[in-house]
Amino acid sequence: MEISYHGHSVVKIKTSDANIIIDPFINGNSLTDLKVAEEKPDVILLTHGHNDHVGDTIELARANNSLVIALNELAVYLQSQGINAHPMGVGGAYEFPFGKVKYTLAFHGSVYETENNEMINTGNPGGILLYAEGLTIYHAGDTALFGDMKLIGDRNEIDVAFLPIGDNFTMGPEDAAYAVSLLKPKHVVPIHYNTFPIISQDPTKFAELVKDSNVQILNAGDKVVL
């Protein structure tokens, strides 16, 4: 398996038989190294409906006949746009050919703004647990710190956790570091920072606060070292 980070909250996972992308915010993302025309995802995983996470999902899915996996209301909206979307619920898991996906709690909003400035309520947000090829990957989305992260950590041996540190809209560095202590991942990658001035952070300060997990501060295109 190959896991790489591509700015903001964009994560790519390449398994032996699937190219997966999480929250493909490419156009408008000043930190990414990706180009929409060059991406060929088999599967798109979405944490929630904010535009900086749904990103270029519709264009990518139409061009590549990608399977989009999302929480129910967001999936239903995408289906209305002609997208092959699999709806799920928080706490639910499903076994796909490439691995198992489970949605966890996350605490924040989830509204999608269309090109016509229509605001679509896309239901609950979530975090994602992906179990594939013997590894467990956790992408927390835009969440605040919450106590049930301890349950996630107790019930899963997380190999890599992607946690937001940008503050203002998500956890800041201090709360994210405490989240690491609850989740107990082997490796942790800070995400969702420095894309916009309001979420500017120094990730080294987050790294200094983390105990007992390997922090990997990645630039766009860097791979996670397992």
Mean pLDDT taken over the chain: 98
Taking the C-alpha atoms of residue 44 and residue 203, their distance in angstroms, rounded to an integer, is: 27
Give residues with Cβ within 8 angstroms of 189, minimum separation 6. Answer: 5, 160, 161, 162, 163, 215, 216, 217, 218, 224
Taking the C-alpha atoms of residue 190 and residue 140, their distance in angstroms, rounded to an integer, is: 10
The stretch 17-34 carries a mean pLDDT of 98
pLDDT-derived band of residue 221, with 50, 70 and 90 as boundaries?
Answer: very high
Q: What is the pLDDT of residue 191?
A: 98
Edge to edge, the sheet with strand 135-139 lists: 93-96, 99-104, 127-132, 135-139, 160-164, 187-191, 214-215
Closest CA relative to residue 69, chosen from 41, 32, 29, 39: 41
pLDDT-derived band of residue 93, with 50, 70 and 90 as boundaries?
Answer: very high
| Sign of the torsion angle spanned by Cα atoms 35, 170, 3, 31 | positive
Residue 77: other Cβ atoms inside 10 A = 20
Domains of the chain (ranges, CATH numbers) = 2-215 (3.60.15.10)
Q: What is the pLDDT of residue 30?
A: 96
Q: What is the pLDDT of residue 148?
A: 98
Taking the C-alpha atoms of residue 41 and residue 59, their distance in angstroms, rounded to an integer, is: 11
Q: What is the pLDDT of residue 120?
A: 95
Taking the C-alpha atoms of residue 158 and residue 171, their distance in angstroms, rounded to an integer, is: 19
Tens of pLDDT, residue by residue over 147-204, are 999 999 999 999 999 999 999 999 999 999 999 999 999 999 999 999 999 999 999 9
Q: What is the pLDDT of residue 218?
A: 98
The stretch 28-40 carries a mean pLDDT of 98
The stretch 112-137 carries a mean pLDDT of 96
Helices (H), 3-98: 51-54, 57-64, 72-80
Q: What is the pTM of this model?
A: 0.98
Start-to-end Cα distance in the chain: 10
The stretch 27-42 carries a mean pLDDT of 98
